[in-house]
Amino acid sequence: MSEVSDQNAAFTADLVRSHDFARYASTLFVPADKRRALLALYAFKVEIVRVREQVSQPLPGEIRLQWWTDMLAGAGHGDVSSNPVAAELLWAIGQHQLPADRLAKLIDTHIFDLYHDPMPDLTVLESHFADTSSTLLSLAARILGAPSEAADQVADHGGLAQGVAQVIALLPYDSARGQLFLPLDILTLHGSSAAEVFLGKPTPAIRAALDQLIEGARAQLATAQSLLPQVPAEARRAFLPLALVARDLDRMAMADTDPFAVYVPSRLRILWTLWRASRSKMFS
């Protein structure tokens, strides 16, 4: 690599390590020659998700997201190569024939994050996960191995489980700013509401809604795990983050867990979980 490429790769690694340590840690257990492309993909995800934190109004956020969409379409404004994440992502796309249309769809899906519209129902939420969490898993598998239908199926199911775990993990932050990613239809079914969630206090109704979501996520995760043996061996470690999802869902399912209390797992525990998973038959 050139000096500039080295600097760009180092920048993306630092970005992912700082803002998405779990995914960063998962790259430590893949072949070294694949790590750079994975980190480029995950750094792109970090940049897209961070837009919500960097703006106070939706319009500036949409403009920032449009820049990424234009970049993927080859119509980037200014010197795209001066953005280290964009430069690394374009390199990864070229190296591994990643479909730019799926990355563009991920961007479009995250426009929802800029607004305070409540998540209307479980179907829409699952569609959101299919275009975000599942897409990342699928493209990571493509980086580690050739595209396969089995890998895409695992990504479909695993991404839904991962998405639910993430939504519940972020509940303390989202409820504090008046954003609702829990599906309204599930809340209503159990006698809760957006207003109750925004109070930031656990209730039996909220607990029942979360239990339903967790149960569904566990079923999706079990399906993903059952399909993993069909995935080419070289691509299985793309799904290492699912080992963290299993652990998170177990914790979230405990009756005495306060869903509105911020929980930050230790980096050592994350590394330990991933190391154990990497040595198991499931991921190798």
Is the CB of residue 270 less than 8 Å from the CB of residue 264? no
Topology annotation, domain 116-284: Farnesyl Diphosphate Synthase (1.10.600)
| Overall average pLDDT of the 255-275 stretch | 95
* pLDDT over threshold 80, residue 145: yes
Using 50, 70 and 90 to split pLDDT, how confident is the model at 284?
confident
Q: Round to whole Å and give the CA distance between 182 and 53.
A: 19
pLDDT at residue 203, rounded to an integer: 97
Using 50, 70 and 90 to split pLDDT, how confident is the model at 223?
very high
User: How many CB atoms are located within 10 Å of the residue 34 CB?
Assistant: 20
Q: Round to whole Å and give the CA distance between 249 and 235.
A: 24
Using 50, 70 and 90 to split pLDDT, how confident is the model at 75?
confident
Which amino acid type is present at position 238? A
User: How many CB atoms are located within 10 Å of the residue 247 CB?
Assistant: 16
Q: Round to whole Å and give the CA distance between 16 and 120.
A: 31
Domain parsing of the chain, residue ranges: 1-99, 116-284
pLDDT at residue 78, rounded to an integer: 64
Q: Which residues contact 89 (CB under 8 A, 6 or more apart)?
A: 40, 41, 43, 44, 103
Smallest Cα–Cα separation from 256: which of 191, 216, 207, 200? 207
Considering the entire predicted model, what is its pTM? Answer: 0.95
- Condensed to tens digits (0 to 9), the pLDDT of residues 18-44 reads 999 999 999 999 999 999 999 999 999
Neighbouring C-alpha atoms within 13 Å toward the C-beta of 240: 29
